[in-house]
Structure 1
């Protein structure tokens, strides 16, 4: 394995393929990333629900993308057994929801002793949870900037652009022809930057609209801007400086969201590519009746607000509405901007 450093101070890695990789929590992101790694020649095992295992056994795994990608993996190693899925792994990609991190860490400790562990999760605390439970393992935080939606039981579609950033240090060669992995020297700042973007997951889930359609409406963009601006004030009070995860600094995004729609379209086109199928992972969680990551996103901002004596009513409203939708169990509620703002 070789590594090189770019002029921006970011490490990139080169080396041979053939790494034994376990995808721990093979949902949309795990299937897409793991599928590309399997296509590139790595030995990849997918640890997921019985529904995925059965679908992969029947039809394999299909990966598509906004950029025209269309791959069909006929032979897929998918299992619901942690003992089978994690055994002898060189690298474990943790893709479970934040609330399941501690349980997955216990399984890794039992069945994947010595494996390098990479968290491909939302939020900013999962790597620390993994490190505390896995002191014998090399644990790395990473940031996945793109959106993946499930088009079927074993068909996942990448709906937005971006490449993976991972905490700097020795890594096997994980970049593929369709997805780059780049090491970053300040992954914590990157994670805070991604958390700010991920605050929009709740808005998308509550609206029940495709993300692209939602972003064409200035009323929704203003709501996103208000939420992010509020969170930026809380982070500033906490002494946290988020790194940019798009082409512009986080502090400029609320201003861009407020631009007139024709101008916004021109600016946004330089920041991110989105196709018409894109929806947030929180939307998918509500659709499938699963617990969301609202506490790892808006909940983190609200905890900091309480600690540093700040108010965050927009983020609090989002958490309240998502929790109500979880309790109701009827899927994304399809609220309007006015209904969301009603008590603000």
Structure 2
């Protein structure tokens, strides 16, 4: 189904959420912001000059796993590279890469003296705490985006996996939850967002493995040898979390402690037992793969690196996550995109 945004909006305007700013209009920001805009919300985008030019020329095309499309003409999109555009936002969704969180916090502080609500929708564990430190007096909450968004072409953003978007339970997130639901994105709220983020991080440990493989997610996860590497990283992370007295929440179809066992099943049995984990289309790839292909620094230091730092703090070794981090850094330094490591070659680093 193709839905086109009209001049008068796709739906009746709602007053629950006023002016929403997307801070870091990349793949996640453009998709969520575009869905909110198409549903009749006032949305402004703040991002990079190259994407600004593309969006203001071609608009946005949002495609989804189920076949739905949303088309938003360029003239309906407000996109700026000037942070002054944030000055009258009522709600700011931070969707920058984790390495840019400190810059985002300082920028919001310098341009938003009216204390808008700030919600982090980023990968990683530490972003909300960083924003709270930099934004005293602001209402800062966190959230978790479960699905994969891949930038297919200049302004085509594709959701290739499914999942329920989770927001921290708070009065500040209620208007956003209602707006997201009207935009067709299923949501839940959770009181302990930290446990949700750790649960998501367990699944995100595959991001780097997918990037190193160079394969689409479905093809990579269908191979037991790649899954064995992922299971090793997850098992190691669960050990760290257990010693640190952190209990990761279930964010997917599988209880976290069962993930290593399920991942190491033979291929036919894994496909039968964990079919929901493979419910994605052939376009789905990890954001770290996209980072390598575009020459950007991948977020491995904020995913696997978070495990390493916690392990160092509590005295638990993390050789598997250190190996993955080292391989990703080398791939980025090489500047040639994914190294396309076979499953067997990747496993050799763990023997």
State TM-score, norm by structure 2: 0.91
Offset, 1:88: 0.7
In the alignment, which residue of structure 2 is the partner of 1:293?
A: 299
In the alignment, which residue of structure 1 is the partner of 2:222?
A: 216
3-state secondary structure, aligned to 2:25:
coil
Distance in 1 (CA, whole Å) between partners of 2:187 and 2:110 is 28
In the alignment, which residue of structure 1 is the partner of 2:209?
A: 203
Deviations 1:202-234 (A, max 9, x none): 000000000000011111111111111111111
Distance in 2 (CA, whole Å) between partners of 1:92 and 1:177 is 17
Distance in 2 (CA, whole Å) between partners of 1:176 and 1:293 is 31
In the alignment, which residue of structure 1 is the partner of 2:109?
A: 109
Distance in 1 (CA, whole Å) between partners of 2:151 and 2:112 is 28
3-state secondary structure, aligned to 2:43:
strand
3-state secondary structure, aligned to 2:71:
strand
Task: Say whether the 8 Å CA contact 2:31–2:149 is kept in structure 1.
Answer: yes
Structure 1 gap segments, 5+ residues each: 1-14
Deviations 1:246-285 (A, max 9, x none): 1221111111111222222222223562111111001111
3-state secondary structure, aligned to 1:199:
helix
In the alignment, which residue of structure 2 is the partner of 1:158?
A: 159
Offset, 1:18: 4.8
Distance in 2 (CA, whole Å) between partners of 1:313 and 1:223 is 12
Could you tell me which of 229, 239, 250 is aligned with 1:244? 250
3-state secondary structure, aligned to 1:62:
strand
- 1:45-124, aligned counterparts within 5 Å? 45-74=44-73, 75-84=76-85, 86-113=86-113, 114-124=115-125
Could you tell me which of 259, 269, 294 is aligned with 2:265? 259
Deviations 1:53-86 (A, max 9, x none): 11111111010000111010012111111112x1
Task: Say whether the 8 Å CA contact 2:167–2:187 is kept in structure 1.
Answer: yes
Q: Hey, which of these two has a bigger chunk of helix by percent?
A: 2
Deviations 1:280-314 (A, max 9, x none): 00111111111111111111111122222222211
Residues 288, 52 of structure 1: CA spacing in aligned structure 2 closer, same or farther, 3 A cutoff?
same
Task: Say whether the 8 Å CA contact 2:46–2:81 is kept in structure 1.
Answer: yes
- Verify: 1:230 aligned to 2:236, yes or no: yes
State TM-score, norm by structure 1: 0.92
The farther-off stretch of 253-262 and 92-101 is 253-262
Offset, 1:169: 0.8
Deviations 1:178-205 (A, max 9, x none): 2023211111100000111111100000
Offset, 1:177: 4.1
Distance in 1 (CA, whole Å) between partners of 2:330 and 2:79 is 34
Distance in 2 (CA, whole Å) between partners of 1:315 and 1:264 is 23
In the alignment, which residue of structure 2 is the partner of 1:303?
A: 309
3-state secondary structure, aligned to 1:248:
coil
Residues 154, 238 of structure 1: CA spacing in aligned structure 2 closer, same or farther, 3 A cutoff?
same
Task: Say whether the 8 Å CA contact 1:102–1:130 is kept in structure 2.
Answer: yes
In the alignment, which residue of structure 1 is the partner of 2:11?
A: none
Offset, 1:337: 2.4
Distance in 2 (CA, whole Å) between partners of 1:16 and 1:72 is 23
Distance in 2 (CA, whole Å) between partners of 1:178 and 1:312 is 40
The farther-off stretch of 267-276 and 147-156 is 267-276
In the alignment, which residue of structure 1 is the partner of 2:132?
A: 131
The farther-off stretch of 252-261 and 19-28 is 252-261
Deviations 1:144-198 (A, max 9, x none): 1110000112110000001210111113132234202321111110000011111
Q: CA RMSD in A?
A: 1.4
Offset, 1:341: 2.9
Offset, 1:94: 0.2
